[in-house]
Structure 1
Amino acid sequence: MWRRRFDDGEAGETGVSTILWLIRHAAVDGPPGTIWPADAPADLGDHASFDRLRARLPKNANAYASPAQRTIATAKALQLDPALAPEFSEQDFGAWTGKRHDDLAATGGQAYAQFWKDPARSTPPGGESFADQIVRVRRGLELIESDTAILVVHSGTVRAALCIALDSAPETALRFVIDPLSLTRIDRLDGGWRVRSVNETFR
């Protein structure tokens, strides 16, 4: 029993209320291992990957992005005009934002070492935990009412959405690899969730 056909040409089964296309932003143009601030720029130079990803996306879907510069730039490069949704922002690392993990490991003292004993539930100084981010992302997903939505977001946001879809513990969701400019797809069902694919890449 089929209910409707979605814009990507795939049939939507009865009971599917929303198909979510979750895109991690393009790689940041800067040194790796950094906890990036919201104004960190995206590297938009891989035109072939953008073209391949763009060809996979549904037409005329509602688009959303976190308010970070790198997600907005990635969305524009994909020819999307997203509504900005702060609920989909990356985890707030507070005082550690803008710093490199190597430097924090050397100088961050007990607070940084303690964080990695429970990275899903620990809170950086002045920031939020991954568990807090999951609550925020859940609130954002509840605001989406369309059949199909494209979200240009962050690795933490995608992991949070997977945690919600799988009804898993936060620490389990942190095991997912979410590459820059990758696609993850989940369905919101009338009575739950379904994961279609995780971390599709287009290089």
Structure 2
Amino acid sequence: MNLYLIRHTTPDIDKGICYGQANIPLSDSFEEESDFLISKLKNINIQQVISSPLQRCTNLAAKIKTDFTIDDNLKELDFGDWELMDWNKIPQQEIDPWMKDFVHVPVPNGESYMDLYLRVLSVYQNIKKDKTALVTHAGVIRSILAHITKTDLTDSFDFKIPYGTIVQIDTETNQYQIL
């Protein structure tokens, strides 16, 4: 069975701003970026599209398949009190414990990376249709790649997932490739 993990296109937000579940819009390059992504999928008969509910994903999901479904578990990490803050302005006493163990330490009023990992695995392990596309976020994609490659979550940021990336996974062999 083939699964396609698709990261949303470029969001319209300044660099250096912490965002996860904030529902930010897409940049003006959305049409161009999404058309390029769609062209990569043109020879694949996507059977099902499941999307994060955030507009940076649903806009793309609708272009791939109009009858897509939404799953809240595909949202990015909940950055709680840090949502839409400048990373450099997050109080040191809050960010230090998280930086030392972001896998297990939750963001104040948010979640830990382990929280994200567990909710994402519930989606991944319940996909039954071949050629399913998940339109989602970098953290979600990294957590799935960590799972299938048995990579420790602390090392999962070694997976580089730029905006508009498509990762194809053969769920029988757990082999993956970037399209």
TM-score by length of 1: 0.79
Distance of aligned partners of 1:23 and 1:125 in 2 relative to their CA distance in 1, 3 Å threshold: same
Equivalent pairs, count: 176
1:87–1:137: 8 Å Cα contact kept in structure 2?
Answer: yes
In the alignment, which residue of structure 2 is the partner of 1:51? Answer: 35
1:78, 1:50 → 2: CA distance? 9
SS at match of 2:158: coil
Which consecutive residues of structure 1, in runs of 5 or more, have no partner in the other structure?
1-17
Letter in 2 for 1:157: V
1:153, 1:60 → 2: CA distance? 16
**More strand, by proportion:** 1
**Residues 135-150 of structure 1: pairs in structure 2 closer than 5 A:** 135-150=118-133
Which consecutive residues of structure 2, in runs of 5 or more, have no partner in the other structure?
none
Letter in 1 for 2:177: S
2:9–2:33: 8 Å Cα contact kept in structure 1?
Answer: no
In the alignment, which residue of structure 2 is the partner of 1:103? Answer: 89
SS at match of 1:174: helix
Q: Percent of aligned positions with the same letter in both sequences?
A: 26
In the alignment, which residue of structure 2 is the partner of 1:196? Answer: 176
1:90, 1:126 → 2: CA distance? 15
Please state how far the C-alpha of 1:43 moved relative to its aligned partner. 1.9
1:38, 1:84 → 2: CA distance? 16
**More helix, by proportion:** 2
Please state how far the C-alpha of 1:46 moved relative to its aligned partner. 4.7
2:22–2:83: 8 Å Cα contact kept in structure 1?
Answer: no
In the alignment, which residue of structure 2 is the partner of 1:87? Answer: 73
In the alignment, which residue of structure 2 is the partner of 1:67? Answer: 53
TM-score by length of 2: 0.89
Higher gyration radius (CA): 1
The runs of 4+ residues in structure 1 deviating greater than 6 Å are none
1:124, 1:52 → 2: CA distance? 35
The root-mean-square deviation of aligned C-alpha atoms, in Å, is: 1.8
SS at match of 2:171: strand
Letter in 2 for 1:89: K
Q: Which has the higher contact order (CA 8 A, sep 6+)?
A: 2
